[in-house]
Structure 1
Amino acid sequence: MTPAEAVSAAGRAASSAPEEAPRLRLGVADYMTLGNALCGFLAVWALATAQSAHLASGVAGPLPKTAMATAVGLMMVAAALDVLDGRVARRLGGSGMGAELDNLADVISFGVAPAFFFVVWGTIAGGAGVLPVVAGGAVLLAVIVRLARFSCQAPGSDYFTGLPCPSGAIAVVTIVLLDPPVLVGVAAVLLVAWLMVSRMEYPKPRGRKAYLVLGLLATGVALMAAWGLGLPAGDVLIYLMSAVVLLCVVTIPFYVLATRRETARPE
C-alpha cells in the first residue's frame, strides 16, 4: 500500500466520524519519503559533480564507474524507501501530507534524477544532438503525468496502470549502463516513457512481493558497488542485471494479460 492509499483508507474509516483536520505533523513514513527525495537529489549532485570534473579533465569516454554506480545506487535506495514508506504508513499511520510528499519525492528521484542521468550520458556520448534532452524530458513529463493520474484513481486495485515510476527510473539507468548507440538508447528511453503513461498493468508489490522487491533492490545496490569498485565479473553481472530488468519491464504486462485471459476463460 502506498502512502496515498494509506491516507485514503484512513479517510474512509473516519468518514462516519466528525470531520477533523488532517494531521500535518511529520510521521515516520514521511521521513522515509523525505529520504527518498534526498537520495534523488544526491544522485543528481553526484552526476553533476562527476560531469564537471570529467569535462574539466578533457578526457574522452564515459563518466567514471564510481560516479555512475553512486548515482544508480542512490536511486535504488530511493526506490526501496518508496516501497517501505507505504508499509510503514499502513502500520503506524501517516500524516495528511503523506500522499503529496510521496508524489513530490517521486518526481525528484524517479523523474529528474534518471532524466538527468540519461542527458549526461547522451551529451558525453555525442552524435545525437538534442535527442537525449528530448528523451530525458519525455521521462520527466511521463513521471509527472503518471503520478497525477495515480492520485486521481481510486485505490485498492492489485495492479498499477502504467509502469511504476521507480521501475521506469531503474529501466532508464539500466539502458545507460548497457551503453548502447545513442539513437538506440533514445528509442529505448522513449519506449519506457510511453510504458509509464500507457494502460499496461503491473502488479503492486504487496505482501511477500514487497520483500522480494526489497531483496532485488538490495542485490542491485550490492552489484553496483561491486561494479563501481572494479571487482572481478562486475561488468558481466551488471549487464545480466540490466538485461533482466528490461526484459521484466517489457514482458510483465503481457504475462498479466495472459493470466487474466486464462482466468476468465470458461471451463
Structure 2
Amino acid sequence: MMFKTLRVPDLVTLGNALFGMMAIFSACSGHTDLAFIFILFAAIADGMDGFLARRLPNSAIGEYLDSLADAISFGVAPAAALYFIYGYSHPYIMAIGACFYLFCGIIRLARFNTKQKTIPDFEGLPITASAVVIASYLLMADRYVQFYGVIAIMLLLSFLMVSEYPYPKLRGLKSMAFVAIVFILPIASYIVLPAYLPIFSTAMFLLLLLYLESPIMRIPRKYYED
C-alpha cells in the first residue's frame, strides 16, 4: 500500500492539506474567520514539513505531495473563502480575481518544481506567503477590510508569485522562532481572546508587507538567517 511509503514529513504535509480542506468547509459554512485561521494552521504545517524533511528520511513522493497540499491550502482555500465572502455582492469581479489568483499560484508551484534553481532564495513570492497575507488582512478589524482592497491585494500577490523577484528563505532558528510566534498569537487569540485577534492580525499583515517589499528594499539575506 502507498501508505507504507509515507514518512513523518509526508504526514505533516497531509495535515497541511487537511487544514486547507477545513478552511474551505468553514468558509462554505459561513465561518470565515475560522477559515483563515485554518489557513494559518496550514502555513505552520507547511513550515514544519520543510523543517522535518531536511532532518528526517523522505519518501519519493514528498516533494510532489507538498505542492499538491499547497495548491489546496494556499491556492484553492483562500480563493474559495474570498468568493464565499464577496461572491454574493460582486460575483463576477470576485470570481475573476479568485480564479486569476489560483492560476498564478498553480503556475508558481509548477515553476518551483520544474525550474532549475540558480539562486538560494525563492524565485517569486511563495504561495504560502500569499495566502497568509490574505488571511491576515481578512482577520483585521472590519473597518480596514474593503472589497477593492481585497481585489488589489489579490492582484498584487498574483503578480509577485509569477514574478522573478528573489524572496529570501527563512533558515535561521531565531527567524523561524519569531515567525512561529507571529503565527501563534492570532491563532491563540481567536481561541482564547477573540477581542485581540484584529490587533495580532494587523501586526502580522504589516510584517508581511515588509517581506513583500524585501526585493525592493534589498534586505540582506543574513537578516532571515539570523
| TM-score of the superposed pair, with normalisation by structure 1 | 0.73
Structure 2 CA distance for aligned equivalents of residues 248 and 77 of structure 1: 22
Structure 2 CA distance for aligned equivalents of residues 142 and 235 of structure 1: 28
Are the counterparts in 1 of residues 83 and 91 from structure 2 also a CA contact under 8 Å? no
Deviation at 1:25, TM superposition (A): 0.5
Corresponding residue of 1:189: 154
The alignment status of 1:220 with 2:200, answered yes or no, reads no
Matches within 5 A, 1:84-163: 84-124=48-88, 126=89, 128-155=90-117, 157-163=119-125
Matches within 5 A, 1:47-62: 47-50=27-30
Deviation at 1:71, TM superposition (A): 1.2
Gaps of 5+ in 2: 222-226
Letter of the aligned partner of 1:171 in structure 2?
V
Corresponding residue of 1:177: 139
Corresponding residue of 1:205: 170
Structure 2 CA distance for aligned equivalents of residues 196 and 159 of structure 1: 13
Deviation at 1:185, TM superposition (A): 2.0
Give CA deviations for 1:11-57 in whole Å, capped at 9, x if unaligned.
Answer: xxxxxxxxxxxxx700000000000000000110111112xxxxxxx
Are the counterparts in 2 of residues 117 and 173 from structure 1 also a CA contact under 8 Å? no
Task: State which of 54, 75, 82 in structure 1 corresponds to 2:46.
Answer: 82
User: Which of structures 1 and 2 has the larger relative contact order (alpha carbons within 8 angstroms, sep 6+)?
Assistant: 1
Structure 2 CA distance for aligned equivalents of residues 88 and 259 of structure 1: 26
| Count of residues in Structure 1 that have an aligned counterpart in Structure 2 | 215
Corresponding residue of 1:11: none
Deviation at 1:259, TM superposition (A): 4.5
Q: Secondary structure at the match of 1:130?
A: helix
Deviation at 1:143, TM superposition (A): 1.1
Deviation at 1:221, TM superposition (A): 1.5
Matches within 5 A, 1:37-48: 37-48=17-28
Corresponding residue of 2:224: none
**Residues 194, 224 of structure 1: alpha-carbon distance in 2 compared, 3 angstrom cutoff:** farther
**Residues 207, 241 of structure 1: alpha-carbon distance in 2 compared, 3 angstrom cutoff:** closer
Task: State which of 28, 37, 48 in structure 1 corresponds to 2:8.
Answer: 28
Structure 1 CA distance for aligned equivalents of residues 154 and 203 of structure 2: 19
Letter of the aligned partner of 2:40 in structure 1?
M
Deviation at 1:156, TM superposition (A): 7.6
**Residues 87, 157 of structure 1: alpha-carbon distance in 2 compared, 3 angstrom cutoff:** farther
Deviation at 1:149, TM superposition (A): 0.4
Structure 2 CA distance for aligned equivalents of residues 41 and 148 of structure 1: 21
Structure 2 CA distance for aligned equivalents of residues 236 and 28 of structure 1: 35
Are the counterparts in 2 of residues 159 and 204 from structure 1 also a CA contact under 8 Å? yes
Letter of the aligned partner of 2:158 in structure 1?
A
Deviation at 1:163, TM superposition (A): 0.9
Deviation at 1:254, TM superposition (A): 1.4
Are the counterparts in 1 of residues 137 and 201 from structure 2 also a CA contact under 8 Å? no
Question: Larger Rg: 1 or 2?
Answer: 1
Structure 1 CA distance for aligned equivalents of residues 194 and 10 of structure 2: 36
Task: State which of 196, 205, 208 in structure 2 corresponds to 1:242.
Answer: 205
Q: Secondary structure at the match of 1:163?
A: coil
Superposed CA RMSD in Å reads: 2.3
Percent identity reads 32
Structure 1 CA distance for aligned equivalents of residues 139 and 93 of structure 2: 18
